[in-house]
Amino acid sequence: MPIGIIDSGVGGLTVMGELLNRMPNEQFLYIGDDARCPYGNRSPEEVVTFTSEMIEALHRFGVKMVVIACNTATAFALKHVQEIYDFPIIGVIEPGARTAVETSKTERIVVLGTTGTVKSEAYDQAIIAMANDAWVHALACPEFVPIVERGVYKLEEADRVVQQTLEVLSDETFDTVILGCTHFPLLAPFIRKHLPEGTQLITSGSATADTVIHILDQKQLQRTKIMDQQSTFYTTGNPDHFKLIVQDWLQCEDPIVKQLVL
């Protein structure tokens, strides 16, 4: 059976890239809810409803586990859906927080996220649970996701928005920054450019892949043979636009992209 991945839009592709590299034998089904993106400004109840709808769709397709490759959905809906389904469901906040705590030498950590993720304080709590003396500053970056969804993440407009948003950090001292939204790795070159030199940028993809591999091993669910089934991408938005971002980010020549109505 395939592994399901969900996000509010194209952001989860940044996690899927890691999963594809580390698990070349696995088949993935990806759902991006681009029609209702961004989730970052929505109420917790809406995020729980939309996340549950995507996981129910994956359940009907048939999956052996699900990765919620969206920080906002992880913050608000992970516990809820874990109680409903009997296949493993994991999020991206714990893996990202763990990597940051392991990486930071000063335990002064900045989290960049959506308004919802920042308000939920999910990263603050996860980091403090692992390093109780850590200093955590979470900064909402509500303008980043629309830039990525529109596909203009390499343009000068993106550079300008990133610079303006990160300006408030100029008086702070920190050595590690978590990209606490899966859309943000697409803006990483600009984010790096506008942070002090030597700052460690943390994405949750690699630590999330470690967790997936561990669960598949434990439950003996990993695929051992390469099969002929290609991964499939579903979007509630425009499949042609979605395809362009898959091709760019995953260097995948002819991905199967379909429209899904939730």
137 vs 223, beta carbon nearer ligand DGL = 137
Q: In sequence order, which residues have a C-beta less than 8 Å from that of residue 209 and are 6 or more positions away? A: 15, 18, 19, 21, 22, 23
Smallest gap from Cβ 172 to ligand DGL, in A, equals 22
Q: How many CB atoms lie within 10 A of CB 133?
A: 6
Catalytic residue among 37, 70, 141, 252: 70
> What residues numbered 86-145 form the site for ligand DGL, per CB under 6 A?
114, 117, 145
Residue 221 or 260: the one with the smaller Cβ distance to ligand DGL is 260
The pattern of x and - marking residues 178 through 207 that bind ligand DGL according to CB under 6 A reads ---xxx------------------------
Q: Which two tokens stand for residue 19?
A: 């999963």
Q: How far is the CB of 208 from ligand DGL (least distance, A)?
A: 11
Contacts 24+ apart (CB under 8 A), 121-128: 122/71, 122/74, 122/75, 122/93, 123/93, 123/96, 123/97, 123/178, 123/180, 126/93, 126/94, 126/97, 126/98, 127/97, 127/100, 127/101
Question: In this complex, which beta carbon is closest to ligand DGL, that of residue 26 or of residue 33?
Answer: 33
Buried b (16+ CB within 10 A) or exposed e, 60-81: eeebbbbbbbbbbbbbbbbebb
List the one residue from 37, 89, 110, 169 that touches ligand DGL (CB under 6 A): 37
Spatial CA neighbour of 57 closest among 81, 26, 80, 75: 81
141 catalytic residue (yes or no): no
In this chain, which of 8, 104, 235, 236 binds ligand DGL, going by CB under 6 A?
8
**Catalytic status, residue 37:** no
Q: State the nearest-atom distance from the C-beta of 27 to ligand DGL, in Å.
A: 22
Instruction: Provide the binding-site residues for ligand DGL, judged by CB under 6 A.
Output: 7-9, 11, 37-40, 70-72, 114, 117, 145, 181-183
| Active site members | 70, 181
